[in-house]
Structure 1
Amino acid sequence: MTSPHYRFTAHALKRYPTWTPAAKRSAHTSAPPPPRSRLQKYARRTLYTGLGIGTIWALDTNFNASAITRNIRTVHTCVRIATDYSINFTPSKSESIPQLHERVAERMYDLITSNGGLYIKIGQAMGANTAFLPKPVQDKFQSLFDDAPQVPYSVIESVFRSEFGRPPSGPDGVFEIFHEQAIASASIAQVHKAKLRGSDRWVAVKIQKPDVVRQTWWDLTTYKGVMWLYDYWFELPVFFLVDYISDHLRQELDFVQEAENARRTAEFVRADPNFAQRVHIPDVYAEYSTKRVLTAEWIDGVRLSDREAVLRLVGEKPPLPSAQPVRPLQGGAHAIMKTMVELFSAQMFSWGWVHCDPHPGNVLIRPVPGRPTQPQLVLLDHGLYVSVSEDTRRQWASVFKAMLAGDRAEVEAVTAEWGVGLGMGDLFASFALMRPVRLKGARTGPPLFPNGDATDYERGVQMKAALRNFLVDTDRMPKVLAFLLRNMRMVQGNNQSLGSPVNRIRITATYASRALAKTPNLSFAQRLRAWWHHVLFQSVMLSSDAVFFWVRVRQYLGQMFGFKAVGFEDELENMMRRTAKSTLGLEINKDMFSG
């Protein structure tokens, strides 16, 4: 017998085919809400996305030193630059290429200064050889200084508690007195003045900024990627230096290594009678130093960057009316620059241990203790050094000497070992010496620039071709040369800032030639021949002395009779700029070689 419920259900299904028990159940529930509008969906998605981005940004800012944000900024800038070049660097837009270079230079500068930290160091490393880059890029890189706002004292105190387990000062502090206001602040560290407990000795305390450590891996990884892309896209031979530069930038973050660098340099100075009194390396207090804090002897002196104060110190400018009368240092600016050029020449050619950041802010001038009229050069900041092998030192001395003697065969023999293209000796010598060089003998190899009246687009294409011909095998190029040339440019700039009181080229060449004569393991006959060649080379360099003497006389006459007369370094720079423009089509910034 069929149940009434079954008969009702069957009847209902026949009469209402779409009616089901499920429908019956839903009939007693409320109607579904109307669908959300597209605007509401987008608004909700935008809100969630914004909250997510805001959360990531806050975490990155507070716990990751803005590393992700900085790298997004880098990638964005590089994509804009690459896109701009790919669209606008064309033959049809040749007239607007100078504006393209302006935009690129501005973007690069804004990126480096916005990110700060290691980006400043990376930019300076790139800027050491900007002569091959467009003039707007040169202009921007010349204003890339290593300075930065100082971090608050609370941050410094946290570094001390992390490193020493106690604050910088106070009853249980590391120092008896610690000045909370920094006396100098750079991209990766800042310096405070302090006084040792139970002593009258004052010290300079260099503290690393905490954000730098967290940013290092991100910054160097991005730097490597960007250089690879520029090497690949624009065919610029820059990538081969990336690992070498990155390794040395990392070393600058290790203050234990910096202390060791200072100790080693001080040993070289003390062992050389020529520098034992004329140069001083501040002592480091190991018991107050860690990987992130470096404590060194406090030195009162005048920074070389303060040109007017240096000239007053040596008696070449009248003292300030309010200053106490002091006896001027003997020898004037000549004695100071002679010491500096000799010191860094000895580092390159004799010691094989080279300070790579001799900018004027890292050099102090003071009297020798106990000898108030004798000038002494104090070298600071020993974070960046390179070690030069005996073979590279010999090759560098040999090619340096040959460049000045005009010996094309020797220059091209050595540079060929370094992977430099055939016939590129003149170009290599000109930019190594920072003066126009025409080597003796016929030049071989492809022309540097076959079209002298090229458009901006054609010059760009020709420059890339010249660079490809210049560095044909980057694996063989001694990477240390990048830092040696940086060192020489800075020393040149220091000499130039004081009016070029010494013949830098002659002094450096003398050290190079003497180093070859002192090459170890020579036989008696070889040693005798090497010294004879050294004597002959000194006679060749008399022509350089004659030019230098005439320029100095002209400077003195200009001071006496009121007309403008440039110094020796300025004269070389002007010659270099004219030669670069006429033969290479390069527009070199007037401060390119100021260091």
Structure 2
Amino acid sequence: MLLFRKKGHSMPTKTPRFNRLFQIVRFLRVARLLLWTIWVMYRERRRVVRAHAHGDYTEGPNSDVLIEVLVAFRETAVELGVLMIKLGQFLSSRADLLPEKALGILSSLQDEMPPAPFEHVMYMIESELGKPVEEVFSILERKSTAAASLGQVHKAVLASTGETVAVKIQRPNSDQLVRMDLSALKFVIWIITRFVDKNHFVDLMGVYHEFKRTVYEELDYVREAANARRFKEMFKDDPMIYIPRVYDQYVSRRVLVLEWIDGIKINDYAALDAAGIDRLEVAKRTVCAYFYQFFVAGFFHADPHPGNIFVKKGSTGHGPIIAFVDFGMVGSLTKHMKRFMKEVFLAYITRDSRALVHALSQLGFINEGANFAPIERAMSLMMERYHGMTLGEVSELEIPEMVQDVEYLLYGQQLHIPAQFAFTGRAVGTLVGVSTGLAPEFNFVEVATRYARKFLGFDVKNMEQTLKQLFNQLLDVGRVLLTLPRSLEQVIRRLEAGQIEVKLASNGPNGWKRLHESGRSNGDPSGMRGFAWLFMFVASLAGGIFLLTDSHQFIAAWFCFGLAGLITSAVLMKS
């Protein structure tokens, strides 16, 4: 319950900043911890990749060494808080950096901390909103409902309307601590990148910039309010997804007021059962909401842990309503990323390892120059083994066998998670965990297939037989035709530079002369008209294939195919 200041008390004083000595000590402590942790991770990956490159596929990462290092990291992260907890959570989703056993050490890191003093809460509200607390809220609970590394939430009632709201306040000195820890992280990455082989490790600086961007966005509550409005607009036509309202007059960089959500936490299984809510339906709706965010909107909630998803009982016959909160960590997908994520999605449904590997390559998951054949075989074996299983069945498999499969792909085949997908992978991993807990009988492929048929414009009944063959054939032809202009340009440049020697062979000493004269007799002195017709034919055919395989714009694609046929007819009639 609210305990306002007693009359006559002045506004709380500003939280003191850190002195120079504290900053230096913290910088050195964080840098030492990160330097050792990242170096051991790199050393293990390099050793495994080198062994596999020499044909020794029995070699794996030394989990005991990594666990020892990560236990020390976890203990220090809990003590230092703020950015170090965020970094530990981030690493816990990087299966390309750590083996399964080691990931488990960091997965237990929870973004929970003791709340900041209530005096700080009052100071932040008054300094950020420019009004006394009593003018804004008639009730402001002293006890926070959630306290994380960067901020905390208090339940309140607006004085003007009597509406119940959630007040999010940034923790004291969060921005200063984040700057200090990020500078230490950047320093460590700068040192390590001077000594590592990039082919044996991920793009550390790219990961740093992605991590930095996300953390600073989380610190800006004005941006979070904009994210919440965007999500509300995205799901305005879906009554089964609920996004809380933003109170625009009470938004600043460090204070945010949102509608209070009365619901059941998605991992409170006893409460869900007591309310008569179908947990399988909750899992389906949550996953489908993410399918929409990934493949249609290209904008997704990047932190779907149980504390950020609530379930409300819908009206009779309409099932549960899924409510999302906390929009500080979001991700965006470009058209290129959406296109090939869609291809990964469909390739998995159809068990097409070739298309899957091609799409992963286009997204940057496969190192440049890697041999696709063994990756395709490994993907094919994994899909054959796990395709169509429920999440419960997968979780009951022999863990060592699954771990061996994953580690072989990530370590032996030089796969990695690109920086721009760092938080996409984290969101997917968290979502799978939430869905498994909700309903072990949840079948991902079944739900994905229905979604593909309904929202992506595919009839999936005969996908296995028809789409797979057509996709492969068009993809092969499309790859060749789409790279033809670039290849021709490269050849021409090399010819002009004298780097290619051309030898012409003809039927007899006057063969070339006869060919040239034939072109001239048809009114084409240079012989380029035929090349022009050929180029237009190739461009039309390639455009049709591109439209068909990229965004499935069938009308535009068949127009291009018709144009290619028209060009062929014109050439035949002319000849």
TM class by smaller structure: 0.5 to 0.7
Amino acid at match of 1:397: K
Cα deviation code 1:102-132 (max 9, x no counterpart): 3211221123212211222222122112364
Runs of 4+ in 1 over 6 A off after TM superposition: 82-91, 428-431, 461-465, 538-541
Tell me if the contact between 2:378 and 2:409 (Cα under 8 Å) persists in the aligned partners: no
Q: Is the 8 Å Cα contact of residues 403 and 411 (structure 1) preserved in structure 2? A: yes
The aligned amino acid for 2:180 is W
Report if the CA contact (8 A) 1:60-1:66 is conserved.
Answer: no
**5+ residue gaps, structure 1:** 1-58, 315-328, 440-458, 518-530, 542-595
- Give runs of aligned pairs for residues 328-477 of structure 1, distance below 5 A: 329=277, 332-368=278-314, 374-419=319-364, 420-421=366-367, 422-423=370-371, 436-437=382-383, 466=412, 469-471=414-416, 477=418
> If the length of structure 1 is used for normalisation, what is the TM-score?
0.62
Equivalent in the alignment of 2:463: 537
Retained in 1: the 8 A contact 2:340–2:363? no
- Equivalent positions of 1:506-585 (< 5 A) are 506-512=446-452, 516-517=456-457, 531=458, 534-537=460-463
The within-5 A match list for 1:65-214 is 66-78=22-34, 99-130=64-95, 132-135=97-100, 137-169=102-134, 173-214=135-176
Relative to structure 1, the CA distance from residue 79 to residue 509 in structure 2 (aligned partners, 3 Å threshold; closer, same or farther) is same
SS at match of 2:328: coil
Find the partner of 1:502 among 417, 442, 457: 442
**Structure 2 Cα separation of the partners of residues 142 and 196 of structure 1:** 38
Cα distance change, pair 282–90 in 1 and its aligned pair in 2 (3 A): closer
Q: Secondary structure at the match of 1:300?
A: coil
Change (3 A) 1:86 1:246: closer
Matching residue's letter, 1:76: R
Distance in 1 (alpha carbons) for counterparts of 2:61 and 2:243: 51
Distance 2:25 2:151 in 1: 21
Matched, 1:270 2:236: yes
Comparing 124-133 with 352-361, which one deviates more in the overlay? Answer: 124-133
| Alignment CA distance shift 1:233-1:358 (3 Å) | same
Q: State the alpha-carbon separation in 1 of the partners of residues 221 and 128 from structure 2.
A: 12
Match for residue 501 of structure 2? Answer: none
| 2:223 is the alignment partner of 1:257 | yes
Aligned equivalent of 1:301:
263
Query: Identical aligned pairs, as a percentage?
Result: 25
Residues 122-178 of structure 1, C-alpha deviations (whole Å, 9 max, x = no match): 221221123641455322111111111100011112212321233433xxx421111
Task: Answer yes or no: is 1:493 the counterpart of 2:452.
Answer: no
- Distance in 1 (CA, whole Å) between partners of 2:43 and 2:290 is 46
Q: Which amino acid aligns with 2:110?
A: F
Kept in 1: contact 2:146–2:153 (CA 8 A): yes
Q: Secondary structure at the match of 1:177?
A: strand
Q: Decide whether the 8 Å contact of 1:130 with 1:137 is kept in 2.
A: no
Shift of 1:230: 4.7
Distance 2:466 2:283 in 1: 23
**1:65–1:124: structure 2 CA closer, same or farther, 3 Å change rule?**
farther
Distance across 2 between alignment mates of 1:515 and 1:481: 23
Larger radius of gyration: 1
Query: Structure 1 residue 99: deviation in Å?
Result: 4.6
Residues 257-281 of structure 1 show CA distances to partners (whole Å, capped at 9, x for unaligned) of 111111111111113xxxx221110
Q: Quick check: 1:247 aligned with 2:213?
A: yes
Equivalent AA in structure 2 for residue 71 of structure 1? F
Distance 1:338 1:230 in 2: 43
TM-score (norm 2): 0.64
Q: Distance in 2 between matches of 1:63 and 1:286?
A: 36
Amino acid at match of 1:362: N
* Deviation, structure 1 residue 417: 2.6
Alpha-carbon distance in structure 2 between the residues aligned to 1:223 and 1:362: 28
The residue matched to 1:506 in structure 2 has which SS? Answer: helix
1:591 is matched with: none
| 1:301 Cα deviation from its structure 2 partner | 1.2
Pick closer, same or farther for the CA change 1:288–1:95 going to 2, 3 Å.
closer
Q: Is the 8 A contact 1:424 1:470 kept in 2?
A: no
Three-state SS of the structure 1 residue aligned to 2:383 is coil
In structure 2, how many angstroms separate the alpha carbons of the residues matched to 1:493 and 1:404? 20
Deviations 1:228-257 (A, max 9, x none): 445555642141322122112211111111
Going from structure 1 to structure 2, the CA distance change for 1:375 and 1:227 (only over 3 Å counts) comes to: same
Deviates more, 1:505-514 or 1:145-154: 505-514
**Could you list the runs of 5+ residues in structure 2 that have no partner in the other structure?**
1-14, 49-58, 386-404, 468-575
